Amino acid sequence: MAARAKKAAKIEDDRSSLFDEEFLKKLEYLHMVSRKTFVGQNRADRRMRKIGSGIEFADHRKYSTGDDFRYIDWNVYGRIDKLLLRLFEEEEDLHIYILMDASKSMLIGNPLKLHYAMQMAAALTYVGLANLDRVGIVPFSENLHPHLPVARGKGRIFKVFDFLRGIEAGGPTKLEVATQSFIHRYKRKGLVIVISDFYDPSGFEEGINSLRYNGFEPFVLQIYDEKEVNPSFHGDLTLVDCETGAAKEITVSKSLIEAYKREHEKYCAELSDFCSSKNIPYFRTHTKIAFDELVLTIFRQGGFLK
Amino acid sequence: MNLLAPIATSTIATVAAVLAGLLVIAYILKMRRRHFEVPFSTLWQRVLKEKEATSLWRHLKRLLSLLLLVAIVGLLLVAALEPEFGGAREESRAVVIIVDASASMKTIDEGDEGKDSRLDAAIEQVGLLLDGMSAGDAIMIMRMDGRATPLSRFHGDLAKHRKALSTIKASDTPASLTTSLGAAADALRWRKNPLIILVGDGAYPEDALASATWNGSEETPSSEGTPSFVHKELATVDLEGIDVRYQPVGQATDNVGIISFNVRRYISNKLNYEVFIEIQNFSKEPVTRRLVLFSGDSEINVKELQLAPGQKITKIYPDLGGGDDSVLRAQIETIDDGASDAFALDDEAWALMPENKRQTVLLVSEDNLYMEGALLIFEHLDVDKLTPAEYETALTSGELPTYDAAIYHGYAPENVVPAPTHLLYFKPFGPHSPFPIHGTLERGRITQVSQTHPVTRWLEMDDVNFDVLDTFSVDTSAAEVALFKSIRSPVAAAKKEGRRKVAAFGFGLQGTDIMLRVAFPLLMVNTLDWFAGADSDLITTYTTGRPARVPLDGTYGISEVAVTTPSGAQQKAPLREGYATFFAAEVGVHKLVAMQGGEEVAEIQVAANLSNAFESDIEPSAELLLAGQKLERPVPGTATPRQSLWIYLCLMVLLLLLVEWYTFNRRITV
């Protein structure tokens, strides 16, 4: 029986067909759609909001000793008799970090949540690379796993596939610890797409806030499996937490299932409300929804491509 | 509702306790929960905190599950008690129906056109009795022949009783009424409204009918006139409080039977034998019968007999010598070819006699007129004589033929004739004496003769004189036997070495006057007969229905023998101290074989005959007096419908199992 379970797990975690030809076609399609549909409303390439030595005017600020005289706005000085310095938006390549949950809880579901997350990461990476952005992938669980360094160019997509295939999943989810490590490791600010189920017993707030407080722009993508929301088991049984191993003997009844559904919905709503309150793009999906559909939804709603 | 309680309450209690234990174990095993892996147990814990208040129902569900199991086991136990509807408990009876299946029940009465035996009639009567049983009556069927055999436990399932009845076959043994009544009375002890119904032809001996009591324990007054102890005749059957009824079967029928038959060979002439036979006419008319004696299949004597009503003829046929078979059979036949005997079992009888075998004997001695002369008088002996020197030469050259027995006189050779030749020594001396020589007695006399050993049986040695007697060391722990003793010293001894028998006398024929006494030829006859296994005291004819105790030579260390019955059936019989004990249930010749290590060690044939005048007297008794009390006929009961509930209880168990299965799968029960 153990052998059968092992075999089943092996089949489920088969990553060989994750990034096949069909997948590549879908990526290309997504890229075309992103360019045709959104170019009109958003600038072609997304830029970092950084004040510096660019050519596009951004704002004024008071002159202080030591500032370059060349940027003093003499027109304003002539009108209001105040020394204000002209600020320009500095143009630079966007850094996109995909912080992907590779904890043990991602190995649940059909298809596995991890596989879904990988496909999402690959799709978003491809779109980013195609837009000449720099994209890096950082898997995490209780800490950061080996990462794919930030780089650009569409040609890197196959390295991305190889990297994703080689991710070793396991360990509990500790988002706060992982984000702290991430912040210390990556100094260049950028967009951080957090793909996770957010099943962290210590909560998700601190982890996301850490990114915000350190100048990163979080982008939250929550993945869940339908069976997690609507469990099919009944009766007396022992529930074992797949990450912590904590066991709890319970008697599952219909009312308990209903209560659980409500609790799950409440938890997701908490995450959604948190992201809304912080102006963080938030998307929630289950694994039965095709990844390309989700990517298109993301494109439509904005937040990823500007 | 009645509980037939076919199983003892203590047994039910034990079973209930064991089942309760198993049930608890099964319940605990069932409580083992399935394990489910969840990605985030925190959510479940939050939910459970809210649900703690409703855990009472969860406990109740467990209790409900346990109650279902208890109900299932309880119903099964009640079903085992065989409850029945239809009949008041107080009126229900415990009934033992004793069916006579003894030899006389093989009688085919005249009115039955030669088809049905008395046993068939008895079974039919029992069937009628069963039809009249009331609901709630617990019935046991018991077969009575030489033994009492219950064919069922107490229950009210008439179909099962009828099935048990159909298996009854009449045996060749007399009826053992005392045993059967005792067994029935024991079975009915402590039961309400006990009833014994005896169905048979009443062919029971007077002493069996007298060995019962209706008063139970009788107090015997002491000399002071006050009861001192309770006296109870242990041999009698206590029928106090038990209603005993008798249902006769059979019709008046004539019978002439052999009630005794035996044979023996003459001691002086082993070739001839005499036959003893007793025949009785049990009918009320004079009859003529032809008596034929067979040796094997050969007729050796035919006689016509006239028997008056009730006459018993005792006949001895002397000096019979025909036939070579050791099995003798007596048969009485009707003169008229068309006539038939209603009871054929006692028309034949068997007897066995020691095999009529010539013995070859080797005498190793210097010229010994007395010994040679003594051996010459036995017609069934072939004697060769060799001097010790000739013997040594013949033995060394291998020219010595095989003998049944060898006699060494005044000589104990180092090399004796190979086994199984039996050995007889007169005055052995030297280191090769079969028994170590302990000393000598001058002018000794024999003061003690073993009366149990076949060699010394009937011997009188008081007046025999000896110049010198050698005394032997006899090892009784090795089954060596002292035959003669002078004061306390053995002067003659015997032993068995496997299948070889050895006897030694501490005197020769010189220096004694034993040759002038009757004891000498008798001693030789006894010894040679013992060698040949022709023990003249050996009983080889037994009666059926009694345990037979048969001696088997050379069976030391063997615990059982194989018995082949006349019908060819094989059975085992215990063997203790050289005696096999077996129950002869068939008329005819039985063969007993003792095996050791795959080899046949000993074999004997014994005959078993009915030889029972009470059983041969097949005139049925319409009335029976048991312990002085006339037994009434059974009164048909009021047949009331009976309904066994066990099937419904089992259906309920099935239903409960389905409920349990359904609720378990719906998570209603655990």
Q: Let me know whether B424 and B276 are in one domain.
A: no
Note whether residue A161 is domain-resident: yes
Note whether residue A2 is domain-resident: no
Contact B512, B464 (CB under 8 A): yes
Interface subset of A 130-149, CB within 8 angstroms of B: none
Contact B465, B512 (CB under 8 A): yes
**Per the CB < 8 Å rule, is A260 touching B44?**
yes
Query: Can you give the pLDDT at residue B418?
Result: 85
Average pLDDT for B474-489: 88
Angstroms from A111 CA to nearest CA on chain B: 15
Q: Let me know whether A238 and A147 are in one domain.
A: yes
Q: Let me know whether A72 and A173 are in one domain.
A: no
B35: nearest CB among A235, A237, A255 = A237
Q: Which of B40, B59, B660, B666 to mutate to test the interface with A (most CBs of A within 10 A)?
A: B40
CATH (domain of B148): 3.40.50.410
**Per the CB < 8 Å rule, is A228 touching B61?**
no
B38: nearest CB among A239, A255, A259 = A239
B41: nearest CB among A237, A241, A256 = A241
ipTM of predicted assembly, 2 dp: 0.77
Note whether residue A208 is domain-resident: yes
B161-215, pLDDT tens digit by residue?
A: 999 999 999 999 999 999 999 999 999 988 888 999 999 988 888 888 888 888 7
pLDDT-derived band at B342, boundaries 50, 70, 90: confident
Q: Which residues of B touch A240 (CB under 8 A)?
A: 35-38, 41
Average pLDDT for B91-111: 86
Note whether residue B223 is domain-resident: no
Q: Let me know whether B492 and B374 are in one domain.
A: yes
**CA distance linking residue A102 with residue A167, whole number of Å:** 8
Q: Let me know whether A20 and A128 are in one domain.
A: yes
Among A26, A60, A90, give the residue marking a domain's end. Answer: A90
Three-class secondary structure of residue B66 per DSSP: helix
Angstroms from B32 CA to nearest CA on chain A: 8
B465-480, pLDDT tens digit by residue?
A: 999 999 999 988 877 8
Q: Let me know whether B338 and B382 are in one domain.
A: no
Q: What angle do CA B112, B114, B116 make, to 5 degrees?
A: 60
* pLDDT score of B527 more than 60: yes
Contact B494, B425 (CB under 8 A): no
**Per the CB < 8 Å rule, is A240 touching B34?**
no
Q: Let me know whether A289 and A198 are in one domain.
A: yes
**Per the CB < 8 Å rule, is A241 touching B670?**
no
**Per the CB < 8 Å rule, is B39 touching A253?**
no
Note whether residue B377 is domain-resident: yes
Q: Which residues of B touch A108 (CB under 8 A)?
A: 37, 39
Terminal Cα-to-Cα distance of chain B (whole angstroms): 35
State residue B179 phi and psi, 5-degree precision. Answer: -60, -45
CATH (domain of B456): 3.40.50.880
Q: Let me know whether A102 and A167 are in one domain.
A: yes
Note whether residue A3 is domain-resident: no
**Structural domain count of chain A:** 2
Note whether residue B614 is domain-resident: no
Note whether residue A1 is domain-resident: no
**Structural domain count of chain B:** 5
pLDDT tens-digit profile, chain A (306 residues): 344 444 434 446 677 777 777 777 777 777 766 665 444 333 334 444 555 556 677 788 888 888 888 888 999 999 999 999 888 766 566 788 999 999 999 998 888 999 999 988 998 898 888 877 889 999 999 999 999 998 888 888 889 989 998 999 889 999 999 999 999 998 888 889 999 999 998 999 999 999 999 989 899 999 999 888 888 887 778 888 988 888 888 878 888 888 899 999 999 999 999 999 998 989 898 888 888 888 887 777 765 654
Q: Let me know whether B394 and B524 are in one domain.
A: yes
Per the listing, tokens 């242990």 go with B234
Q: Let me know whether A195 and A73 are in one domain.
A: no
Q: Which residues of A touch B58 (CB under 8 A)?
A: 251
CATH (domain of A224): 3.40.50.410
User: A22 CB near a chain B CB, below 8 Å?
Assistant: no
User: A253 CB near a chain B CB, below 8 Å?
Assistant: yes
Q: Which residues of B touch A234 (CB under 8 A)?
A: 666-667
**Per the CB < 8 Å rule, is A197 touching B39?**
yes
Angstroms from A141 CA to nearest CA on chain B: 13
**Per the CB < 8 Å rule, is B33 touching A260?**
no
Q: Which residues of A touch B44 (CB under 8 A)?
A: 239, 248, 250, 260
Query: Can you give the pLDDT at residue A7?
Result: 40
Residue with the bigger pLDDT between B7 and A161: it is A161
Average pLDDT for B510-519: 88
Q: Let me know whether B426 and B526 are in one domain.
A: yes
Interface subset of A 263-282, CB within 8 angstroms of B: 263-264, 267
Contact B103, B257 (CB under 8 A): no
Among B532, B553, B571, give the residue marking a domain's end. Answer: B532
As a whole-number percent, the residues of chain B with pLDDT over 90 amount to 22
What is the overall mean pLDDT for chain B? 83
Q: Which residues of B touch A267 (CB under 8 A)?
A: 43
**Per the CB < 8 Å rule, is A260 touching B38?**
no
Angstroms from A50 CA to nearest CA on chain B: 39
**Per the CB < 8 Å rule, is B34 touching A237?**
yes
Q: Which residues of B touch A247 (CB under 8 A)?
A: 35
**Per the CB < 8 Å rule, is A235 touching B670?**
yes
Return the minimum-mean-pLDDT range out of A264-268, A284-288, B333-337, B525-529.
Answer: B333-337
**CA distance linking residue B95 with residue B243, whole number of Å:** 9
Note whether residue A6 is domain-resident: no
Structure tokens given for A187: 């100094």
Q: Let me know whether B381 and B315 are in one domain.
A: no
Angstroms from B166 CA to nearest CA on chain A: 55
The most distant pair of C-alpha atoms in chain B lies apart, rounded to whole Å, by: 123
Q: Let me know whether A57 and A191 are in one domain.
A: no
pLDDT-derived band at B240, boundaries 50, 70, 90: confident
Q: Let me know whether A97 and A120 are in one domain.
A: yes
Q: Let me know whether A208 and A62 are in one domain.
A: no
Query: Can you give the pLDDT at residue A256?
Result: 85
* pLDDT score of B114 more than 60: no
- Closest to B126 measured CA to CA, from B93, B106, B92, B99: B99
**Per the CB < 8 Å rule, is B37 touching A267?**
no
Angstroms from A197 CA to nearest CA on chain B: 9
Return the minimum-mean-pLDDT range out of A24-33, A198-207, B238-247, B345-354.
Answer: A24-33
Angstroms from B27 CA to nearest CA on chain A: 13
Terminal Cα-to-Cα distance of chain A (whole angstroms): 52
Contact B84, B661 (CB under 8 A): no
Q: Let me know whether B35 and B179 are in one domain.
A: no
Note whether residue A306 is domain-resident: no
Q: How far is CA A146 from the centre of its chain?
A: 17
Q: Let me know whether B373 and B413 are in one domain.
A: yes
Query: Can you give the pLDDT at residue A44?
Result: 36
**Per the CB < 8 Å rule, is B48 touching A264?**
no
Note whether residue B613 is domain-resident: no
B598-613, pLDDT tens digit by residue?
A: 777 778 888 999 988 8
Query: Can you give the pLDDT at residue B325?
Result: 72
Structure tokens given for A7: 């075999």
**Which domain covers residue A162, as residue numbers?**
14-43+93-301
Note whether residue B478 is domain-resident: yes
**CA distance linking residue B36 with residue A194, whole number of Å:** 28
Which stretches does DSSP call E strand in B215-297?
A: 218-221, 227-231, 237-238, 243-248, 256-265, 273-281, 287-295
User: A260 CB near a chain B CB, below 8 Å?
Assistant: yes
Angstroms from B42 CA to nearest CA on chain A: 6
Q: Let me know whether A152 and A55 are in one domain.
A: no
**CA distance linking residue B23 with residue B574, whole number of Å:** 44
Among B532, B555, B588, give the residue marking a domain's end. Answer: B532
Tell me which residues of chain B have a C-beta less than 8 Å from any C-beta of chain A: 31, 33-48, 50-51, 54, 58, 61, 664, 666-667, 670
Return the minimum-mean-pLDDT range out of B97-101, B540-544, B561-565.
Answer: B540-544
Q: Which residues of B touch A250 (CB under 8 A)?
A: 44, 48
Query: Can you give the pLDDT at residue A305?
Result: 53
Contact B380, B422 (CB under 8 A): no
Q: Which of B38, B42, B49 to mutate to test the interface with A (most CBs of A within 10 A)?
A: B38
Q: Let me know whether B183 and B54 are in one domain.
A: no
User: A227 CB near a chain B CB, below 8 Å?
Assistant: no
**CA distance linking residue A219 with residue A261, whole number of Å:** 25
CATH (domain of B564): 2.60.40
Note whether residue A19 is domain-resident: yes
Q: Let me know whether A188 and A279 are in one domain.
A: yes
B29-63, pLDDT tens digit by residue?
A: 766 778 888 888 888 888 887 666 456 666 677 67
**CA distance linking residue A60 with residue B318, whole number of Å:** 159
**Which domain covers residue B558, as residue numbers?**
541-605
Give B103's DSSP letter.
Answer: G
Note whether residue B313 is domain-resident: yes
pTM (two decimals): 0.52
Angstroms from A8 CA to nearest CA on chain B: 15
Q: What is the 3-state secondary structure (H, E, C) of chain A?
A: CHHHHHHHHHHHCCCCCCCCHHHHHHHHHHHHHHHHHHCCCCCCCCCCCEEECCCEEEEEEECCCCCCHHHECHHHHHHHCCCEEEEEEECCCCEEEEEEECCHHHHCCCCCHHHHHHHHHHHHHHHHHHCCCEEEEEEECCCECCCEEEECCHHHHHHHHHHHHCCCCCCCCCHHHHHHHHHHHCCCCCEEEEEECCCCCCCCHHHHHHHHHCCCEEEEEEEECHHHHCCCCCEEEEEEECCCCCEEEEEECHHHHHHHHHHHHHHHHHHHHHHHHCCCCEEEEECCCCHHHHHHHHHHHCCCCC
Q: How many CB atoms lie within 10 A of CB B592?
A: 21
Q: Let me know whether B440 and B453 are in one domain.
A: yes
Q: Let me know whether B409 and B291 are in one domain.
A: no
Per the listing, tokens 């078979």 go with B325
Among B508, B532, B556, give the residue marking a domain's end. Answer: B532
* pLDDT score of B628 more than 80: yes
DSSP conformation letters of A139-186: EESSSBPP-EEEE--GGGHHHHHHHHHTPPP-S---HHHHHHHHHHH-
Q: Let me know whether A104 and A56 are in one domain.
A: no
Average pLDDT for B122-145: 88
**CA distance linking residue A224 with residue A231, whole number of Å:** 12
Note whether residue B225 is domain-resident: no
Q: Let me know whether B325 and B402 are in one domain.
A: no
Note whether residue B138 is domain-resident: yes
